[in-house]
Copies of this chain bind each other. A is one copy, B any other.
């Protein structure tokens, strides 16, 4: 399934930037960064539970906000992009 992770953190502080960097690193193990604090990951149900627990542990729950959206298995028609930096197909071939 495709899951979308959105992370709201104050990046004007070094601590905030550090937490964003940690969240990004974890998300990139499962998918791609499509915007500065938006990540799309393709996971199974077990991985979804894992990533939620792992990320919830990285954030400052007093100040940061972390949201997860489950777009299911048939997600290709559910996403539209406008403007800069269109993302690549995460299940497609990796071109280096």
Contacts and interface: CB of A to CB of B under 8 A. Distances in A.
A79 interface: yes
A67 interface: yes
B61 A68 contact: no
Interface in A76-96: 77-85
By DSSP majority rule, is chain A's interface helix, strand, loop, or mixed? strand
A78 B78 CA distance: 14
Nearest to A36: B8
Contact of A6 (B35, B77, B78): B35
A63 interface: yes
Interface of A: 4, 6-8, 34-36, 38, 52, 55-56, 59-72, 77-85
